[in-house]
């Protein structure tokens, strides 16, 4: 029997390095239409406002959010633990002629000084944190006083009975319309995901508890995933609850973790 503890961070890094090649093709990850992009930009403008800001995109992946924010006039830095993701992010930035600084970095050990950014944002990242409290504390640390932490995520393990039925029925529709097997999973990664703390908590309530514990003024709201803007995609992917959590850093010292 193997009693060695799992190196969750190493497994997270391996998973996203292996996923990098097809990441932008996955629903909800890449941008697949001009309409979808416009919906994301409208949401981001609502969250950040119109004034150009210093933004850190944590777990930037292939740079989808970072590149959109840079197009909107913000000065953006993106960090990720997975080198293969960054290769693709930098290639896209070069092809698009958009100045984004993409760096290798650990979301739980941010390589920047205190108070370096107006905004710290991440999308579909918080659930992957082996230590979400430590990660959130780091994100708050690098925020300026009055700065804003934005978490865009989903309740991927929603346990409502009708949602489970919907999710299973949607797999047949995915099989027919996308010609891919939605039942195929990497068992190794499914097993390690069970050890991620936020997989076992109700969200966004758990996110709010963490941010409030750090002294932030936090709130959450649900939103419709831009990928589900048409009826067919809604039938296939609308069964997950998407949400945004926003926390504002007070003008003072934030409690350490």
Whether 83 is in a domain gets the answer yes
CATH number of residue 113's parent domain:
3.40.50.150
Q: What whole-number distance in Å separates Cα of residue 63 and Cα of residue 197?
A: 25
Task: Take residue 33 and report the two structure tokens written for it.
Answer: 């239409």
User: Is the Cβ–Cβ distance between 137 and 120 less than 8 Å?
Assistant: no
Closest CA to 133 of 213, 215, 247, 216: 213
Whether 1 is in a domain gets the answer no
Q: How many domains does the chain have?
A: 1
Task: Take residue 23 and report the two structure tokens written for it.
Answer: 């990441």
Strand order in 241-248's β-sheet?
A: 101-104, 75-80, 54-58, 117-123, 143-155, 241-248, 217-222
Q: What whole-number distance in Å separates Cα of residue 221 and Cα of residue 219?
A: 7
Closest CA to 30 of 123, 113, 165, 119: 123
CB atoms within 10 A of CB 176: 8
Q: What whole-number distance in Å separates Cα of residue 197 and Cα of residue 154?
A: 15
Whether 98 is in a domain gets the answer yes
Q: What whole-number distance in Å separates Cα of residue 131 and Cα of residue 111?
A: 17
Whether 167 is in a domain gets the answer no
Whether 170 is in a domain gets the answer no
Give me the pLDDT at residue 75, please: 98
Give me the pLDDT at residue 255, please: 42
pLDDT tens column, 4-31: 456 888 888 998 899 889 888 877 788 8
Q: Are strands 217-222 and 143-155 parallel, antiparallel or unpaired?
A: unpaired
Give me the pLDDT at residue 4, please: 44
Give me the pLDDT at residue 253, please: 46
Q: What value does the CA radius of gyration of the chain take, rounded to a whole number of Å? A: 18
Give me the pLDDT at residue 165, please: 73
Whether 180 is in a domain gets the answer no
| pLDDT < 70: residue spans in the chain | 1-6, 156-164, 166, 183-191, 228-229, 232-239, 252-257
User: Is the Cβ–Cβ distance between 55 and 74 less than 8 Å?
Assistant: yes
Q: Which domain, by its residues, includes 51?
A: 8-156+202-231+241-248
Q: Are strands 117-123 and 75-80 parallel, antiparallel or unpaired?
A: unpaired
Whether 37 is in a domain gets the answer yes
Whether 128 is in a domain gets the answer yes
- Mark residue 179 as left, alpha or beta (left: phi above 0; alpha: psi -120 to 50; beta: remaining): left
């Amino acid at each position: 029997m193997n009693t060695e503890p799992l190196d969750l961070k190493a497994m997270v890094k391996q998973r996203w390095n292996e996923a990098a090649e097809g990441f932008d093709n996955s629903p909800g990850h890449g941008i697949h239409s001009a309409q979808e992009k416009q919906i994301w930009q409208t949401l981001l403008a609502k969250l950040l406002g119109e004034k150009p800001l210093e933004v850190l995109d944590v777990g930037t992946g292939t740079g989808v959010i970072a590149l959109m924010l840079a197009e909107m006039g913000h000065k953006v830095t993106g960090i990720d633990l997975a080198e293969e993701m960054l290769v693709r992010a930098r290639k896209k930035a070069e092809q698009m002629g958009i100045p984004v600084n993409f760096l290798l970095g650990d979301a739980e050990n941010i390589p920047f000084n205190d108070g370096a950014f107006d905004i710290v944002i991440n999308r579909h990242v918080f659930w992957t944190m082996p230590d979400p409290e430590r990660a959130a504390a780091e994100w708050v640390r690098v925020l300026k006083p009055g700065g804003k932490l934005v978490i865009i995520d989903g309740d991927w393990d929603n346990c409502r009975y009708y949602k489970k039925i919907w999710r299973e029925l949607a797999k047949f529709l995915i099989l027919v319309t996308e010609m891919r097997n939605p039942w195929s999973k990497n068992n190794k990664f499914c097993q390690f995901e069970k050890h991620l703390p936020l997989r076992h908590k109700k969200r966004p309530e758990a996110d709010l508890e963490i941010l409030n514990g750090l002294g932030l003024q936090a709130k959450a709201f649900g939103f419709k995933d831009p990928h589900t803007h048409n009826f067919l995609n809604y039938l296939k992917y609308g069964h997950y609850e998407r949400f945004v959590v926003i926390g504002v850093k007070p003008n003072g010292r934030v409690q350490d973790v």
